[in-house]
Amino acid sequence: MIYFDNAATSWPKPPGVAEAMVRFLEEVGANPGRAAHRRAIEAGRIVYEAREAICELFGAPDPLRVVWCKNVTEALNLALRGLLRPGDHVVTSSMEHNSMMRPLRALEQDEIDLTVVNCSPQGMLDPADVKAAIHPHTRLVALNHASNVVGTLLPVAAVGAICRQHDVLLLVDTAQTGGAYPIDMQADQIDLLGFTGHKSLGGPMGTGGLIVGERVDETQIEPLVRGGTGSRSEHEIQPDFLPDLGESGTPNAVGLAGLLVGVRWVLARGIDTIRAHEVALAQRLIEGLRSIPGVTVHGTLDAELQTATVSFNVIGMASSEVGLRLDDEYAIMCRVGLHCAPAAHKTMGTFPHGSVRFGLGSFNTIDEVDAALAAIATLAQET
C-alpha cells in the first residue's frame, strides 16, 4: 500500500501521536482551563505546551497569541472575517485554496474590495505584482505559502517586506508548508499565520490555529463565535484578549495532545532534514514522470521551488480513471480531479478536468516513488 495523499492529510502520524491521544482520554480526561483540580491543570499544561511547540516551529514569540481552531479554514475565516471592514482592500493570489478564496469572495459582498493577482501557469507569484496592487485602502495581503494543487512555493518573505513598507498586514495560509518547509513569522514578516494540524505537523484532524502577530491589534478582531472561555467568568461580554477572544467553548484537547507530539517530532527531526527528504522524493518523481511518454507534469518542474506535491495528467485518460486504477490495481492512494482550488486550476490550465495529485510526505520512500512511476508508465502505455 502506498499513501500519496499527504497533501490532503498526512499518514501515518509520527510515533507517539496516537498514544498521547489515548493517554489524554484515559489518564487526563479533564477540561483545560475550566477548573483548578490536578487533572484540569494537567490538561491545561498539555494545551499550553502545544502552543509553545507551535511558536517554536513558526518563530512566533508569544504562545498566548496562538488561537486554537479546528483547522486552517476556521483560522483563515477568523483572520478575514475578524479583521476586515467595509471599504478595506485585500490582495490575494490566483493560486489560493477555497479556504481563502471563498471567505474573500463572500466578503466582497460586504463591500470589501478584492484584487486577485495572477500567477504564472507554473503557479509562481511575482512580488512586484503584489506591490503594484497595493493602494491606500489596502489592509491585508492574503496568500497561501504553497499551492495545494501543484506545490509551487509563493515568495512570502519578499511579500512580507513589501507589506511592511506599505503598512499592510500579511496573512499566510501554511496548510501545505507547516512542518515541511522552513517558516519564521518574524524573519518572513508574517502578521497572521494560519496552520492546520493534520498535514505535515503530524497531528490529528480537528486541530489548527491562527497565530496573531504583534502588529495586529487584537481588540479589533471580531470573534467568529462567542461563549465560555474559562476566563472572566463574571462577565457576560466576550473577552477582548488573546487567545480567549477566539477560543470559545471546550477545545479539542485530545487532538492538541496528539498535535503536541507531532510538532515535537517535526522539531526533533529538524525542518531542514524533512525538507531535504521531500526535495529528493519530489525531484525523483518529477524527473521520472517527465520521462514517461504521454504524461504532462504541471508546475515548476524544480523540486527546490515547490513542496513534495506533484500534479500531472496522463494524456488520453481522465484523472479519475488514473486514480481509480492506481487504487484498484496498485494500492496507490492519491487525489484526482479539482483540488478545492478552482482559481489555481484556471491559472495552470487544468480547469475543469483537473489533475492527478501525488502528495508525498515524510514517511514516503524513493522505492515507493519508483513503484508509482512504474505503475504510471504501464497506464500511459495503454493510451
Decide: is 200 part of the binding site for ligand PLP (CB under 6 A).
no
Query: Binding to ligand PLP (CB under 6 A): which residues in 4-33?
Result: 8
At 42, the amino acid letter reads: E
**Distance of alpha carbon 256 from alpha carbon 249, whole angstroms:** 15
Instruction: Quote the least distance from Cβ 305 to ligand PLP, whole Å.
Output: 16
Decide: is 307 part of the binding site for ligand PLP (CB under 6 A).
no
- Residue 212 contacts residue 221 (beta carbons within 8 Å): yes
Decide: is 357 part of the binding site for ligand PLP (CB under 6 A).
no
DSSP strand pairing (295-297 vs 89-93)? unpaired
**Distance of alpha carbon 142 from alpha carbon 93, whole angstroms:** 8
Decide: is 355 part of the binding site for ligand PLP (CB under 6 A).
no
Size of the site for ligand PLP (CB under 6 A): 13
**Distance of alpha carbon 321 from alpha carbon 314, whole angstroms:** 10
Strands across the sheet containing 309-314: 295-297, 309-314, 355-359, 335-337
Decide: is 71 part of the binding site for ligand PLP (CB under 6 A).
yes
Decide: is 309 part of the binding site for ligand PLP (CB under 6 A).
no
Decide: is 347 part of the binding site for ligand PLP (CB under 6 A).
no
Q: Distances from the Cα of 373 to the Cαs of 34, 128, 130, 281, 287, in angstroms?
A: 52, 38, 38, 12, 10
Decide: is 53 part of the binding site for ligand PLP (CB under 6 A).
no
Decide: is 97 part of the binding site for ligand PLP (CB under 6 A).
yes
Helix H segments across 6-114?
17-23, 38-58, 72-83, 98-109
Residue 73 or 189 with smaller CB distance to ligand PLP: 73
Decide: is 73 part of the binding site for ligand PLP (CB under 6 A).
yes
Among the candidate windows 70-78, 272-280, 329-337, 349-357, which touches ligand PLP by CB under 6 A? 70-78
**Distance of alpha carbon 211 from alpha carbon 88, whole angstroms:** 21
- Contact with ligand PLP (CB under 6 A): which of 99, 300, 350, 362? 99
Residue 40 or 356 with smaller CB distance to ligand PLP: 356
Instruction: Quote the least distance from Cβ 71 to ligand PLP, whole Å.
Output: 3
Residues facing 210 on adjacent strands:
67, 194
**Distance of alpha carbon 356 from alpha carbon 246, whole angstroms:** 37
Decide: is 177 part of the binding site for ligand PLP (CB under 6 A).
no
Residue 71 or 306 with smaller CB distance to ligand PLP: 71
Instruction: Quote the least distance from Cβ 105 to ligand PLP, whole Å.
Output: 15
Helix H segments across 195-300?
253-269, 271-290
Contacts 24+ apart (CB under 8 A), 250-253: 250/31, 250/34, 251/32, 251/47, 251/68, 252/68, 252/70, 252/206, 252/207, 253/24, 253/28, 253/31, 253/32, 253/43, 253/46, 253/47
Among the candidate windows 113-121, 135-143, 172-180, 262-270, which touches ligand PLP by CB under 6 A? 172-180
Closest-CA residue to 172 (of 156, 196, 155, 148)? 156
Query: Binding to ligand PLP (CB under 6 A): which residues in 129-168?
Result: 144, 148
Decide: is 72 part of the binding site for ligand PLP (CB under 6 A).
yes
Instruction: Quote the least distance from Cβ 129 to ligand PLP, whole Å.
Output: 20
Residue 40 or 256 with smaller CB distance to ligand PLP: 256
Binding residues (CB under 6 A) for ligand PLP: these are 8, 71-73, 97, 99, 144, 148, 173, 175-176, 196, 208
